[in-house]
Amino acid sequence: MTKNGLTITLLLLLLLAPVSATAQALCVNDALEREVCLAEPAGRIVSLSPGATELVYSAGAGDQLVGASAWSDYPPEARELPRVGDSNRVDLEAILALEPDLVIGWTDGNSRTQLDRLAELGIPVFWLAPRTFEDIAATVATLGELTGHDALAQQRAREFLGSMEAIGSEYRQAEPVRVFYQVWDQPLMTINGDELISKAIELCGGTNVFAELPRLVPRLSVETLLTKNPEVIVTAGRGEADQGWLQRWRDYPSLTAVASDNLFLVSPDLLQRATFRMLDGTRELCDLLEQARARL
């Protein structure tokens, strides 16, 4: 993917590796390249990350969720689901008590040791790790297959990709702006070019000033940031509508982003979860980068 836009073919979903179906099972490969087989579409699902919970709802299978991890708060009805732990540790006994026929894990958060134990006990575990917008769409399509909502999931996935492509087309000729995205304050952390937020920055015509770093979420020194001299600084902060993380940069008036007043807060759940809501988060980000261009 380049700043010239999202490379998307809407035929992508037609080219997805089809689910193999027999009288005995339907099978797919997950993000760990493990084959997951179900005798029939899952009717009782436990989701072990907020993002996975959202994706199950997007696939049309929200009513089949019987449990979810902490912080699963979207859509609103997800808040009523029984809790089975958080990203650091799940409650295996609570999961077993819910008698799921499918558990969905996220590779960047959940314990493989714990979830492998569930698999050993005969509960199918499907791992997610969407790294691109295409991955998000493909994940929803696959969840639709696993839960008996393949037609609806495919339709929603196509609509998501089409909308992302439209954003890319809108900003393809936009003047590039150099962006620093701040993930955390102490220690100072950002994202490299492989992270989804960086791909959203590119889609909006921006350039991630730390795209070349090897780690997905690298740590930085303030001196390194000053050397890069970004034109825009964006953060979601701690998820609160306060300016604390941005105010610290006003101590460095020589920064172009500070001199131009290009310091912006974004909605955390819209950009920091790899779900369909990244569409709204990307639109918000693009609007902010347009404001930044006008100030440079």
CATH code: domain of residue 179? 3.40.50.1980
Position 283 in a domain: yes
243/258 same-domain check: yes
Domain with 134 in it:
10-166
71/46 same-domain check: yes
Instruction: Please tell me the least confidently modeled range out of 23-27, 97-101, 178-182, 220-224.
Output: 23-27
Closest C-alpha to 23, from 37, 42, 33: 37
Position 3 in a domain: no
pLDDT at 239: 62
285/216 same-domain check: yes
For the four alpha carbons of 226, 228, 231 and 235, in that order, the dihedral sign comes to: negative
pLDDT at 23: 46
pLDDT surpasses 80 at 4: no
Position 5 in a domain: no
17/142 same-domain check: yes
91/228 same-domain check: no
Position 4 in a domain: no
70/215 same-domain check: no
182/157 same-domain check: no
pLDDT surpasses 90 at 216: yes
Does residue 209 sit in helix, strand or coil? Answer: coil
Q: What is the rounded CA–CA span in Å between residue 210 and residue 216?
A: 10
282/213 same-domain check: yes
Position 280 in a domain: yes
Task: Report the mean per-residue pLDDT for the chain.
Answer: 91
24/144 same-domain check: yes
* Residue range 44-85, pLDDT digits in tens: 999 999 999 999 999 999 999 999 999 999 999 999 999 999
Label residue 8 by pLDDT band (50, 70, 90): very low
Position 134 in a domain: yes
Domains identified in the chain, total number: 2
Position 86 in a domain: yes
Closest C-alpha to 47, from 17, 72, 27: 72
**Of 166, 188, 220, the domain-final residue:** 166
136/185 same-domain check: no
Note whether 205 and 177 are within 8 A (CB). Answer: yes
**Residues β-bridged to residue 189:** 184, 219
Q: What is the rounded CA–CA span in Å between residue 102 and residue 119?
A: 10
162/189 same-domain check: no
140/156 same-domain check: yes
Higher pLDDT, 163 or 5: 163
Closest C-alpha to 117, from 91, 92, 100, 139: 92
**Of 103, 137, 166, the domain-final residue:** 166
**Of 142, 166, 190, the domain-final residue:** 166
Position 177 in a domain: yes
